[in-house]
């Protein structure tokens, strides 16, 4: 949840600033008005003079509120009496009509002041309610994410001018701080509002007025809802993580079960045939069965190696022994240990040495070549190219198979992903995940791109040795 709206601001009636402005206006305005009217004394009727002073009091009430207006009403009544009611320059009133005029004037001035102040306060209250409604609506509408509760507490602290705000929770008779901004509030906070049966909102700072208590109660309830939403989101994330772990475990068991059973079945059939006393085998047939046993054992060895490598990657315990090494030699060893369709190699022997772990890089190249062989059509060409680009070295494994759509290329690096490969000899789908993990452990990257004319090119970028 992101709360970015400006704070409603402190709520203290019309504020000290407006009261001071009204006082200054009353003093200055009445002085100026009196100075101007004294020069016209005798030309204007007393009723006209009184109305002019009443207008001034209304303006003071609008600007400064009731107290400056009341002061202006009393002061203007005295000024009218002193300067414009005979006998002049005294507070004595000899004419009964003048007495009535002055009394009615001050009564009307006070009434108007109160009415204007009340209207101003209602407008301020309406504006404040609008801001509060907008704030609460925004809090309710914003999606909850990590840190939403802290941002809401910051809004409370800034809105009411507090120094610290916190949400406390009572659990098992002990109260603990769930979230806090500006430090932990004191043991006797100036503000404490119940948020729920077990939660309360506390803050240190100036006291608040009754209207603020209403907003605080709503914000406290919003804080409780936000905390609940954050906990539900955390539980949902945990459930999704457990579901993903279960999915990976199920995929692992299914893949391992299938991929172990196939070579084991080959080994079992070959050895049973070799040990069957009723079957007479020629030398060529015995050699073929032994080759089947060896090939199946190699497949099991690769499978176990991949599982161990993936386990080290996911546990974060893989260590790379980086040292200068020749790419052409590593590629040659990798091809030698991955029997299959021939590979065309174009890795110059005069390339700068790469800063890599030779064992890990051999495994990466072997996995990429094995992946290219599975994707390549029968008789298709597979090639490995190496080149020097600035301070980096690039090693590309190129096939001419169906390729991989751009929107699926990231997914193929996930463990146990075989995309559209449904063959029985496709492995567990760990080869590319291991290749990326090993390459990144060496400080390199793997980037899949389209092969010109069709197919997929996997380009490793590695650091050159200094």
> Contacts from 336-345 at CB under 8 Å and sequence distance 24+?
337/362, 337/366, 338/366, 338/369, 338/370, 338/373, 340/369, 340/370, 340/373, 341/373, 341/376, 341/380, 341/382, 342/382, 343/369, 343/382, 343/383, 343/384, 344/381, 344/382, 344/383, 344/384, 345/383, 345/384
Q: Rounded to two decimals, what is the model's pTM?
A: 0.44
Q: Are 384 and 457 in contact (CB under 8 A)?
A: no
What is the DSSP secondary-structure string of 81-115? Answer: HHHHSSSTTSS----HHHHHHHHHHHHHHHHHHHH
Give the Cα separation of 385 and 454 in Å (integer).
17
User: Quick one: which H or E segment has residue 200?
Assistant: strand 199-204
73-87, 133-147, 434-448, range with the lowest pLDDT: 133-147
Look at residue 363 and tell me whether its pLDDT is greater than 70. yes
CB of 327 closer than 8 Å to CB of 347? yes
Q: Is the pLDDT of residue 69 over 60?
A: yes
Q: For the segment 104-155, what is each residue's pLDDT rounded down to a tens digit?
A: 888 888 888 888 878 877 887 787 777 777 777 777 777 777 778 888 888 8
Which tens digit of pLDDT belongs to each residue from 368-410? Answer: 998 888 888 887 788 999 999 888 999 999 998 888 888 888 8
Given pLDDT bands bounded at 50, 70 and 90, which one contains residue 420? Answer: low
pLDDT digits (tens, 9 = 90+) for 175-186: 888 888 888 888
């Amino acid at each position: 949840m992101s709360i970015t709206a400006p704070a409603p601001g402190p709520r203290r009636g019309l504020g000290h600033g407006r009261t001071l402005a009204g006082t200054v206006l009353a003093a200055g305005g009445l002085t100026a008005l009196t100075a101007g009217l004294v020069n016209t004394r005798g030309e204007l009727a007393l009723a006209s003079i009184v109305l002019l002073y009443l207008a001034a009091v209304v303006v003071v009430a609008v600007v400064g509120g009731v107290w400056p207006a009341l002061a202006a009403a009393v002061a203007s009544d005295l000024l009218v009496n002193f300067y414009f009611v005979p006998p002049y320059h005294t507070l004595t009133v000899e004419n009964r009509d003048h007495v009535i005029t002055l009394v009615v004037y001050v009564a009307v001035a006070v009434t108007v002041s109160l009415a204007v102040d009340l209207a101003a306060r209602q407008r301020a209250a309406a504006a404040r309610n609008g801001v509060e409604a907008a704030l609460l609506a925004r809090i309710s509408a914003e999606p909850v994410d990590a840190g939403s509760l802290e941002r809401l507490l910051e809004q409370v602290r800034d809105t009411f001018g507090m120094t610290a705000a916190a949400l406390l929770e009572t659990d098992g008779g002990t109260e603990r701080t769930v979230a806090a901004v500006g430090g932990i509030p004191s043991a006797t906070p100036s503000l404490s509002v119940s948020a729920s049966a077990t939660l309360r909102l506390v803050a240190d700072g100036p006291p608040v007025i009754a209207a603020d208590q209403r907003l605080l109660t709503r914000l406290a309830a919003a804080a409780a809802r936000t905390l609940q939403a954050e906990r539900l989101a955390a539980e949902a994330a945990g459930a999704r993580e457990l579901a993903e772990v279960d999915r990976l475990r199920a995929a692992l068991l299914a893949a391992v079960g299938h991929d172990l059973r196939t070579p084991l079945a080959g080994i079992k059939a070959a050895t049973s045939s070799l040990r069957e006393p009723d079957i007479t085998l020629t030398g060529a047939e015995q050699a073929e069965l032994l080759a089947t046993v060896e090939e199946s054992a190699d497949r099991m060895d690769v499978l176990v190696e991949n599982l161990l490598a993936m386990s080290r990657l996911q546990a974060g315990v893989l260590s790379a022994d980086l040292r200068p090494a020749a790419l052409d030699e590593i590629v040659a060893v990798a091809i030698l240990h991955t029997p299959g369709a021939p590979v065309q190699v174009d890795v110059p022997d005069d390339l700068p040495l790469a800063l890599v772990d030779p064992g890990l890089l051999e495994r990466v190249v072997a996995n990429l070549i094995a992946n290219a062989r599975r994707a390549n059509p029968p008789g298709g060409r597979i090639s490995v190219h190496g080149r020097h680009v600035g301070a980096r070295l690039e090693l590309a494994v190129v096939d001419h198979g169906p390729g991989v759509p751009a929107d699926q290329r990231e997914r193929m690096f996930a463990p146990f992903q075989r995309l559209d490969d449904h063959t029985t000899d496709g492995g567990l789908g760990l080869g590319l995940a291991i290749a990326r993990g090993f390459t990144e452990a060496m400080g390199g990257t793997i980037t899949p791109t389209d092969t010109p004319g069709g197919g997929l090119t996997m380009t490793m970028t590695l650091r050159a040795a200094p």
